[in-house]
Structure 1
């Protein structure tokens, strides 16, 4: 096998990263992309031509392969016919010869068979062999782990986030509304679900549509927390792709894409191309901007442009995630309409929805009783009989089972997830510390609002600082009150941040770091790491507005708002960089403003009307939008003018009253049953415990350092426990995902959350996966000859250990490997053919096996070739005998597991109409397909070790 750069239709290729797809055939090629059909797994992949992760499959004289009918052939010679190989082959008994194009190759390809390599004296080191077996065992355990998809992300073990990810991520084509309050981690929940969907193959093509201002936040979050490489599609990128080939659909050139929803709204051609490209999972952030109402005259639904666009995509995309912190903020009709996007059959009319909501209220009330210590009365039991069909005992276990029954049947329980700060708890709170300062003499009190609020942005050279009282105030507070604290400062623009940083560092002698849009991602990482460093790290991190997006700094608790944004959501984002889960102290929000200016009025609006500094305000954005005209008038006009001051005071009083009324309404409508369904504590606790155990027993640190040392990859262990890993000229392996600049790596979850510049190396990290994939597809360590030091075995006699992989080629989404009783078969034979596999396991052998120098290893193989071949053939027969029973066990496991879920959903569908019929049908199709494919298990020789007994 080797690689060719020229592509031609009919060529056979193997995926470097998804070998389980089987052997693919090239079916389409253009200037930028190639399309590979993998017939055995019924999958088609589109790859960028320049960097497709593929290996061309070629055979030479003497090689064996299997055709599509399962017949074995040996290559006599080969020729290249217009880029496609034609093989002249002979069957094993030599009675039949024929000419065969490579298109006739079977999908099960075996490469680098260990016996062939051993007999050809291609012998690997003992350490490489050990590493290979360890990697295969780790992969095998991961394939059946219920934690699959949850191990890799750089996230804290937050119960409600992990519960939602576990509940939603394992579904086929999940369609849900994630509606946790601000600061509870909706983006993390979505990322965990996306990561699980990709890891398990349930989704492969993903489109994330967000407001323009959140594109980079999402891209950074996906990359830093989840190691997911999403491509950012804007007008420049799509135009560049079209410039190279106007017939290319840009949305087919990448698998995972982030785009601004405005891009598709403003360009119908791009919207149509995105629709034509098709995706498995659609993610919409800020879904409360999707508004809809029912026309009272016609009864027809009318949505805004965003709603209509998302409705088009949702109608043809199997999986949909909608994210909003305020599901009912813009009215119950818009809330209904967003649920309608997820399941139009289930949520058919607004009247029907309102009727059901009234019934859910009774369910939620009885759930409140079950969750409390309140005794169940006769009236309660009547309601429970009506809802569940039976009475409930008073003991805690019975009440808990009843709650779970109600949750399963609760109308929006499977579709809507909403956790609140009140339900989650653990937020220390926040305080506002205003600083009223005299305005500079030249500060504008009339004119454009931009100049009245942010006059410093008109003087990009920093001249504004000469008379601005905020600068001496800032230096004074950093030297005194905040001297020993970490401080985050956010201002609107990069130039203002740069001017402040220069003044603080040069004139104030204060350790500073900057974070703004003019810096590269690496520079931002370094700045964030310098700020996070204790002792000699930066005292203050100065951020432009992007500092309120994509990064969290819970280790700091002092926030300086050098200016105020015009939007309450943006202000909440700023505060949310510190006021998040994991914060240990009350947030101190320092707000300097100039007395008598629009700045003061904006501060009072946020503080007195919206109360946004003290608490999360779910109503702030709506209230500001409702009163934006009056607010702008008050901000623009000098309150000293006649009537202006009174108008502003009246506005503050009116909006404050509206806010409190709305908040009371939201609290009264709080659905405790929904909150409980969004985080079932016992289930969440089990997930957290399992991840904690995995972290504690992590096999990777030892494996990784040994692998790096054995393959001549440069690494340095740092005093804080991190590793600096760099490629070297002497590297002995290829194909690993390691940048030329190298990386800083950590195996600690806690350290990874503090050090965003360090890669969090887990069993699901791309670098680890690239090692596993290299081992899986290459001959690394698959042969070994070693010394077995034991007085119990006749000296000079052989013992042979052989490993075989049990594989099933199938669509990744079926996850058939998880049903196999074993993915590896180990056979241990002595020289006389006695099977010792059950008596002596690999761990028992390990202390007695020692290195044998290469010269002697080759002599052993040369002198004992016949014995080695005989024992290998015996081992193959013993392994094949196990495969049939594996197939029967796997079929039963897979069938039973899916049947259990089908039965559960079928039963629930009688009580809970949110169970979709298409979900049940897809499960039944998967069940039938999986059972059929599990009849066709393959046994692939993986590795062989010959051990010579010596004292």
Structure 2
């Protein structure tokens, strides 16, 4: 083959963006190359031209000048110019063959394979090459990690939440009732499950149904804690979609949707379209509003969820009061999850009696008390085998009872008493004299919250609560962080203005009129220790989705009409992680509806002192009498009402306490398993290489990042960025790599391997040619100077649904082959980490000269490395199939065995596992290797 011939195709080593050029002129000293893509001609010195000859090989895809794709079958050299014999299939399935001279090849070229790129002298920086290998290794570790789906959430490492997420999130089409008490994090548990289902591919489409008032809270919680972008579907949005395309199902326009229950109930067409849309998981919050009885049937909400649950495989129901509205409604919610298992209320009640007997035995096993003969006999009867009174056998017996009996697989309920760690709360009432201007009659709203009708703020001139607030912040609360919650944004703005301008108090606001960024910034300012805000003033939205456990003083500037809303307010501080007793300051005006509402909450419902699981039900039962008493001072009638409701509340609470299912509570958080998950996540947090990786990546690609003294990093895109396609905010973003910082600074995004920005970096590295080639110097006396080594990294690939996670079963997902110049395999002898410190950057021009001079050796060693990598596949395939089969068979056998004793295990769940096991084993036969990176190493003396 001639060195240069008119018609040959060449690529510029230094200006690859010019595309594929054609040699149009050559003489003794120079050559001329036309680049049709850019319509430019370059003249180069013949002996030093920075050009690489482009020759396609058999089975390569080439494009002609019309853009048609062809497959190379063979090639001939005709006086230095290549003629390719190519083939393609047209739209009719007909096979077309022809000869294609290289002069007719299109100018657009994208060399993606590492060998193609390095032979074309497209050589990347050493740092990029190292980053590519690290990214591949991190992704391989993540795919095989049991923490997959858990590490990317901005949540504290709270054992019971992580246990439920781990237990439920790994299931296919989970159908469970999350019934933790208020303040224990049901929304977080649901978010963790959703996040895990999405990240592992077990689900792709999620529908969340909530009351109107909770839509925004859910959207913010999913985005802020889990980086999940949910869209709120209301009547305006669905109408807009229909107006644009009447035939389009609105629920097919987004993958993750939040909608109100009332929207579906009021619009049958939307309800039908939601059923037809084919969601993978349905989430229903406030599920205690789904009511059913054998005599009266179901309410509208229940009918809606039942219809959706029949077509959606996964269902999560959330309620803090699973049995509060009666055992029939509790049974009915379980029936939504598994209608075959819970088909008869009578049978369910009988089983409940048996489970209570089992729970009593389990409680003995969990105690330190010695097992008596009758206990051992009962255990043998329940389990089918005897046990000895030894710690290990008692522990195993407890878990057998948990697996076999009750609703443990579908019902999770943690209680504050079981979890512990809550310091408690105290009520600090502040009785103030009502001013003359205060309304003592009229509508209840006017009596309770007259300030909301005076948008000009004149109410502040006479309201004694304002004066009290200023004095309290100056004196008793001077050195404390204080959270204030009021009903509306205008009230909050007026108070903040007065405190900041007239009292000189550092303040922050949080209300519905602010953007998400502004709210995050306000929360971060409040969280700062030294120079942060002393008080954060929130509208009612402040009681939704934000937790401020670092503060312990709460001011309720007014009282809501709903006890659940009041509990949500208190719950911003009274949560896991709170180290101090909560001080609840309640200013009210003597002799007004405010005082009577305070007494109702305090004396009748006891809601300030403790979580009251019966409060909402009691208020609904006595709402008529309560409104009469609030509207006017009825004297003894109100006193009698307070006494009667208090007695009834105590009786209900006693009944609930006696009916606690401690076996169920234990199953909702098995301590040994939960502690292992927490420890594993702590180890991940402590040993993550991600911060250093991301900083190196940004530094090497001209992404601007500025490390702050508070542990955060400000990241901004630049015009000089050398990579494209990253999920990075155009305005920049504040991030932190550390969980403790992320929990405090809600304005900072928590950067993990599962964050969208990090995922986009890894995806870009994998799908693009970033760092796939390199030429480096190895300074050593152990090898002969001037010789070269070839290092090739291969990824073990298997095409399969994401949900199967077949890479987890592979003994290794990356294969590194290191060959000497004469073909000696040094892969096991020279570890990449050992030689890393001795490898040095080689400038681009020198690297290109090395490749051109040793092209033949590089091609030979590459072919040898490919054979070595492919040769390891049969053994890897067998190991992977053995691991995959055993893993899935263990779960299939366990569930099949337990189904004999516990009918809550669904047959379709077992059949689904068997189907997936068979599919995975078949797909593992298609194991292949893909070259990911290639490096030429030149040995030189130190």
Tell me the alpha carbon deviations over residues 859-896 of structure 1, each in whole angstroms, 9 at most, x when there is no partner: 00010000000000000000000122211111111111
Q: TM-score, normalised by structure 2?
A: 0.90
Counterparts of 1:216 and 1:73, CA distance in 2: 52
Counterparts of 1:104 and 1:182, CA distance in 2: 63
From 299, 304, 308, the counterpart of 1:304: 299
**5 Å matches for 1:441-590?**
441-590=436-585
Counterparts of 1:118 and 1:390, CA distance in 2: 67
Counterparts of 1:870 and 1:96, CA distance in 2: 24
Task: Name the SS for the 2:533 alignment partner.
Answer: coil
For structure 2, the residue ranges without an aligned partner over 5 or more in a row are: 1-53, 77-83, 95-109
Counterparts of 2:131 and 2:551, CA distance in 1: 42
Contact 2:870 2:928 in 1 (8 A): no
Counterparts of 1:599 and 1:782, CA distance in 2: 70
Counterparts of 1:371 and 1:76, CA distance in 2: 72
Counterparts of 1:807 and 1:232, CA distance in 2: 38
Q: CA deviation at 1:111?
A: 7.2
Counterparts of 2:149 and 2:69, CA distance in 1: 42
Contact 1:178 1:416 in 2 (8 A): yes
Counterparts of 1:819 and 1:893, CA distance in 2: 6
| Counterpart check, 1:212 vs 2:201 | no
**Structure-1 residue corresponding to 2:936:** 946
**Structure-1 residue corresponding to 2:229:** 229
* Change in CA separation of 1:486 and 1:64 when aligned onto 2, cut-off 3 Å: farther
* Change in CA separation of 1:503 and 1:861 when aligned onto 2, cut-off 3 Å: same
Tell me the alpha carbon deviations over residues 638-664 of structure 1, each in whole angstroms, 9 at most, x when there is no partner: x2xxxx211111110000001000000
Q: CA deviation at 1:238?
A: 1.3
**Structure-2 residue corresponding to 1:69:** none
**5 Å matches for 1:210-359?**
210-295=210-295, 302-359=297-354
| Counterpart check, 1:708 vs 2:698 | yes
Q: CA deviation at 1:75?
A: 3.3
Counterparts of 1:677 and 1:281, CA distance in 2: 23
Aligned pair count reads 866
Tell me the alpha carbon deviations over residues 506-543 of structure 1, each in whole angstroms, 9 at most, x when there is no partner: 11111111100011111111111111111111111110
* Change in CA separation of 1:449 and 1:826 when aligned onto 2, cut-off 3 Å: same
Q: CA deviation at 1:64?
A: 7.4
**5 Å matches for 1:619-698?**
619-637=614-632, 639=633, 644-698=634-688
Tell me the alpha carbon deviations over residues 78-137 of structure 1, each in whole angstroms, 9 at most, x when there is no partner: 646xxxxx53444247998543248989xxxx9710000000000000000001101111
**Structure-2 residue corresponding to 1:883:** 873
From 834, 837, 840, the counterpart of 1:847: 837
**Structure-2 residue corresponding to 1:166:** 166
| Counterpart check, 1:932 vs 2:922 | yes
Counterparts of 2:641 and 2:405, CA distance in 1: 41
From 51, 69, 84, the counterpart of 1:87: 69
Contact 2:74 2:86 in 1 (8 A): no
**Structure-2 residue corresponding to 1:18:** none
Contact 1:787 1:948 in 2 (8 A): yes
Counterparts of 2:261 and 2:837, CA distance in 1: 60
**Structure-2 residue corresponding to 1:23:** none
Tell me the alpha carbon deviations over residues 698-721 of structure 1, each in whole angstroms, 9 at most, x when there is no partner: 111111111110111001111122
Counterparts of 1:815 and 1:226, CA distance in 2: 21
From 60, 77, 84, the counterpart of 2:64: 77
* Change in CA separation of 1:90 and 1:790 when aligned onto 2, cut-off 3 Å: closer
**5 Å matches for 1:412-427?**
412-427=407-422
* Change in CA separation of 1:682 and 1:111 when aligned onto 2, cut-off 3 Å: farther
Tell me the alpha carbon deviations over residues 903-932 of structure 1, each in whole angstroms, 9 at most, x when there is no partner: 000000001101000000100000110000
**Structure-2 residue corresponding to 1:779:** 769
**Structure-2 residue corresponding to 1:906:** 896
**Structure-2 residue corresponding to 1:595:** 590
| Counterpart check, 1:198 vs 2:198 | yes
For structure 1, the residue ranges without an aligned partner over 5 or more in a row are: 1-60, 66-71, 81-85, 296-300
**5 Å matches for 1:30-69?**
none
From 831, 852, 872, the counterpart of 2:862: 872
Task: Name the SS for the 1:911 alignment partner.
Answer: coil
Counterparts of 1:778 and 1:629, CA distance in 2: 67
| Counterpart check, 1:401 vs 2:401 | no
**Bigger Cα displacement from structure 2, 164-173 vs 808-817:** 808-817
Task: Name the SS for the 2:715 alignment partner.
Answer: strand
Contact 1:74 1:92 in 2 (8 A): no
Contact 1:64 1:75 in 2 (8 A): no
Structure possessing the higher radius of gyration over alpha carbons: 2
Counterparts of 1:785 and 1:73, CA distance in 2: 25
Q: CA deviation at 1:232?
A: 1.2
* Change in CA separation of 1:514 and 1:74 when aligned onto 2, cut-off 3 Å: closer
Task: Name the SS for the 1:203 alignment partner.
Answer: coil
Counterparts of 2:712 and 2:284, CA distance in 1: 36
Deviating beyond 6 angstroms after TM superposition, the runs of 4 or more aligned structure 1 residues are: 61-65, 93-96, 102-105
From 671, 684, 689, the counterpart of 1:699: 689
RMSD between aligned residues: 1.6
* Change in CA separation of 1:398 and 1:726 when aligned onto 2, cut-off 3 Å: same
Q: CA deviation at 1:812?
A: 1.0
Task: Name the SS for the 1:91 alignment partner.
Answer: strand
Counterparts of 1:819 and 1:378, CA distance in 2: 47
**Structure-1 residue corresponding to 2:3:** none
Counterparts of 1:111 and 1:126, CA distance in 2: 19
Q: CA deviation at 1:844?
A: 0.8
Counterparts of 1:258 and 1:368, CA distance in 2: 41
Counterparts of 1:76 and 1:587, CA distance in 2: 71
